[in-house]
Chain A
Amino acid sequence: QVQLVESGGGVVQPGRSLRLSCAASGFTFSSYGMHWVRQAPGKGLEWVAVIWSDGNNKYYADSVKGRFTISRDNSKNALYLQMNSLRAEDTAVYYCTRDLSFIPDYWGQGTLVTVSS
Chain B
Amino acid sequence: QSALTQPRSVSGSPGQSVTISCTGTSSDVGGYNYVSWYQQHPGKAPKLMIYDVSKRPSGVPDRFSGSKSGNTASLTISGLQAEDEADYYCCSYAGSYTSVFGGGTKLTVL
Q: Which residues of A contact B (CB under 8 A)?
A: 35, 37, 44-47, 50, 57, 59-63, 95, 100-110
Docked complex: B30-65 residues within 8 A CB-CB of A: 32, 34-36, 38, 45-48, 51-52, 57
Give chain B's interface residue range (CB within 8 Å of chain A). Answer: 20 to 34
Q: How far is the CB of A27 from chain B (nearest CB, A)?
A: 14
- Check if B104 sits within 8 Å of A104, measured CB to CB: no
- Check if B46 sits within 8 Å of A103, measured CB to CB: no
- Check if A103 sits within 8 Å of B99, measured CB to CB: yes
Q: Of A57, A59, A63, A103, which one neighbours B36 at CB under 8 angstroms?
A: A103
- Check if A59 sits within 8 Å of B101, measured CB to CB: no
Q: Name the A residues within 8 Å of B35 (CB-CB).
A: 103
- Check if B91 sits within 8 Å of A47, measured CB to CB: yes
Q: How far is the CB of B107 from chain A (nearest CB, A)?
A: 14
